[in-house]
Amino acid sequence: MIESKNKEVEARKIIKNSVAILTDKKAVKLVEYDLREVNNAVADYFLICSGTSTTHVKSLADNLYKLNRREIKESPWHLEGVENKEWILLDYVDVVVHIFSEEMREFYKLEELWADAKIKEY
């Protein structure tokens, strides 16, 4: 029980700091998905947002990586999509952050896959 409580505290810390960073850097349509009660979910939480251009997407990801590492001593376990700058994923294990270009977000419609999750818009 203590382990799951610590896990939740760590996840909330990552979410809180990530939301602050992404909001400060003008992420578009930032949404949190609580997947803890969704069958076959790959993480406990998703944060999904968009950038207005590939430069903005890359900037959001770079700042998130750098500031989470500096401010809360958290680095992603896995990072993907940095080369194409259209969908960058930062995987913090229990929290996965998806930063899309607006076009790719509309194309993949990731939110529809997790429609039964609890959703919080920022």
Question: 3-class DSSP state for residue 122?
Answer: coil
Query: How many domains would you assign to the chain?
Result: 1
Among 9-13, 37-41, 69-73, the least confident range: 37-41
The enclosing domain of 56 has a CATH number of 3.30.460.10
Q: What is the C-alpha to C-alpha distance for residues 115 and 97, in angstroms, rounded to an integer?
A: 17
Residue 15 in contact with residue 48, Cβ under 8 Å?
A: no
Over the Cα atoms of the chain, what is R_g? 14
- Phi and psi based region of residue 90 (left: phi greater than 0; alpha: psi -120 to 50; beta: remaining): beta
Residue span of the structural domain in which 46 resides = 2-121
20-47 pLDDT per residue, tens: 999 999 999 999 999 999 988 899 999 9
pTM reported for the whole predicted model? 0.94
Question: 3-class DSSP state for residue 64?
Answer: helix
